[in-house]
Structures are given as structure tokens and as C-alpha cells.
């Protein structure tokens, strides 16, 4: 199915394992993730995989099946063809053909809907814990699909703790103590919004303000919201829409966990509200 897990079949390396391109007997193209840790007992592994497999929503990468073979644990997913959001924002493709503002808003809304489904529409709920731009895959229509949700339960506490530390240093989570709650996903989503709007990574040591969250807050305080938009954008967003999305991001990263909104509320707050009627002005790009 994966040509014997040959190197030429590798399409990605993630926090939990190596991903291979595979082909089923009916010629369906799939992505096979071979997990790096097999410390989760077989029975628990099967139960958790079944729960993940029940998650069915258009903004989630669909789990098609799994395999336990000796020391190997493998997950078979639908194949998502257009890479991940991190590559589109920060890679070579993003430099040549940057995402439009409309595409960015659609990605934000799609990820919000996927998270809301995991948190509020299935039982038991699923907390992602490691939401970041490289875990947002893009399909052939440039629609976002969240990957790797629920996988922390499949690799055991030791491996999960190492991944948690990496997430803290990457800037996507506030601290390790929040990782078991869905409000940690809300925080990560807020950071993701900032990344999508600005085109900056959450942590960038080449910048005077290393952390994206600190830089964006300073721009808001100094009333320079127009300056947070990715300079590669050819057309600037409507000012009211930009402000609404930025304020939503700031609510998601509130230091007080209880003050962060639920993802269902986030979806509602991201909906356009008569933007064309109330604000036909574009942010003047010359101000940047």
C-alpha cells in the first residue's frame, strides 16, 4: 500500500509520526501515518481510534481505518492534496502566490467550525491539544481540514508530554497546565488567527518583538491595526471586518481561561454583519 514504507513515499513528518502516500486496492489515494510511539495498550488504542473515526465533519481529515502490525501502529486517512497551511503562509508557495484575504477568512471560519464540532457536537468531545498551522491541511478546493485531532491519547503520556513542551515553545499554547481543556484549543485558534492575518509565525527571533501575540497587542494598543495585515496581500480587507477578527483573536487568547469563548460562539462572532452596508471603506494601504 505504501511501497513498503519507502522513503520516496514519505509526504510528511509530524509530531506523532511519519506520513506516507499509499494506494488502496481500489486505487484510492490515502495518507498512512505510522506512529512513532506504540506505548498505548492495544485495547485502549482501538477504543480511542474508534472514537476518532466517528468524527465526521467537512473541516476534519477523515480517518478511514487503522492497523496494528507487530510494534507498528498505523492510521489510514483520506488524502488531502494541497499541503498544509504553514507551507502556504511561510513556504515558497506563499511567497509566489500568497493567500488572498477571502481565502484567509474562509480558512479561519472552516477551522472554527471543525473545532466547534469536536468540542460541542460529538460525545465524547475531542480536545485537539496541538492545533497549529502545519496541522491544517488544504484540499483541492483550498478548504481547510484539521488533522491530528485526538492523537495524543494514542501515543502514551511520555510522548505526549514531549509534544506538549514543543507546543509551548512554538507559541501556540499558553502553558502546559491548560492542555487537557478545550479552552487550550481556543487559545491556539486565537494564535492561528493572528498568524493567518499577519503572515508571521507565532515565534520569530528575527523580529524585535519575538512573540506574535505581544506584537499584535502592541499594534492594537497603538491603534495601528491596519499594519498587522500580511504585506503580501494585494488588496486590503474592510476595516470593520479586520477589527472584528482581530478582537475575536484577542478574546480567544484571554489570560483568564474562563473568559475565552466557546468555539460555537466564535463561529457566530466571525459571521459578517452588514459589512458592505456599514463600511465600504478599504483600509488605506498607503498607511502601512
Give the per-residue pLDDT at 286: 42
Give the per-residue pLDDT at 43: 84
Contact between residue 174 and residue 191 where contact means Cβ atoms under 8 Å apart: no
Rounded CA-CA distance 213/201 in Å is 10
DSSP state of 285: G
Q: How far is CA 90 from CA 9, 85, 134, 173, 229, in A?
A: 24, 8, 10, 20, 14
Give the per-residue pLDDT at 278: 44
Q: Which fold has domain 3-78?
A: Phosphorylase Kinase; domain 1 (3.30.200)
Q: 45: which strand partners?
A: none
Name, in order, each residue with C-beta under 8 angstroms of 48's C-beta and a sequence gap of 6 or more.
40, 150, 153, 154
Instruction: Classify domain 83-278 at the CATH class level.
Output: mainly alpha
Give the per-residue pLDDT at 71: 74
Q: What does the pLDDT look like over 86-112, one tens digit per residue? A: 999 999 877 778 899 999 999 999 999
Position 76 pLDDT exceeds 80: yes
Domain residue spans of the chain: 3-78, 83-278
Was 240 annotated as part of a binding site?
A: no
Q: What does the pLDDT look like over 17-69, one tens digit per residue? A: 899 999 999 999 999 999 877 767 788 888 889 999 999 999 999 999 998 87
Amino acid at each position: 500500500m505504501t511501497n513498503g514504507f519507502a522513503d520516496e513515499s514519505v509526504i510528511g513528518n509530524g509530531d506523532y509520526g511519519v506520513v506516507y502516500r499509499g494506494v488502496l486496492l481500489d486505487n484510492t489515494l490515502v495518507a498512512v501515518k505510522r506512529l512513532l510511539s506504540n506505548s498505548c495498550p492495544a485495547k485502549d488504542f482501538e477504543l480511542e481510534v474508534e472514537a476518532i473515526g466517528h468524527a465526521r465533519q467537512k473541516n476534519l481529515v477523515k480517518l478511514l481505518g487503522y492497523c496494528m502490525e507487530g510494534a507498528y501502529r498505523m492510521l489510514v486517512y483520506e488524502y488531502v492534496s494541497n499541503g498544509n497551511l504553514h507551507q502556504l503562509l511561510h513556504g515558497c508557495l506563499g511567497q509566489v502566490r500568497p493567500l488572498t484575504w477571502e481565502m484567509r477568512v474562509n480558512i479561519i471560519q472552516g477551522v472554527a467550525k471543525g473545532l466547534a464540532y469536536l468540542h460541542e457536537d460529538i460525545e465524547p468531545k475531542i480536545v485537539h491539544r496541538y492545533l497549529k498551522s502545519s496541522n491544517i491541511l488544504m484540499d483541492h478546493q483550498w478548504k481547510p481540514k484539521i488533522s491530528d485531532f485526538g492523537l495524543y491519547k494514542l501515543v502514551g503520556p511520555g510522548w505526549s508530554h514531549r509534544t506538549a513542551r514543543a507546543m509551548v515553545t512554538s507559541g501556540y499554547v499558553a502553558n502546559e497546565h491548560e492542555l487537557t481543556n478545550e479552552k487550550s484549543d481556543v487559545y491556539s485558534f486565537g494564535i492561528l488567527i493572528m498568524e493567518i492575518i499577519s503572515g508571521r509565525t507565532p515565534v520569530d527571533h528575527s523580529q524585535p518583538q519575538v512573540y506574535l501575540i505581544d506584537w499584535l497587542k502592541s499594534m492594537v494598543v497603538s491603534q495601528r491595526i491596519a499594519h498587522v495585515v500580511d504585506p503580501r496581500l494585494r488588496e486590503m480587507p474592510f476595516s470593520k471586518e479586520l477589527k472584528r477578527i482581530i478582537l475575536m483573536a484577542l478574546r480567544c487568547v484571554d489570560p483568564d481561561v474562563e473568559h475565552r469563548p466557546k468555539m460555537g460562539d466564535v463561529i457566530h462572532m466571525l459571521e459578517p454583519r452588514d459589512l458592505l452596508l456599514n463600511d465600504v471603506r478599504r483600509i488605506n494601504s498607503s498607511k502601512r
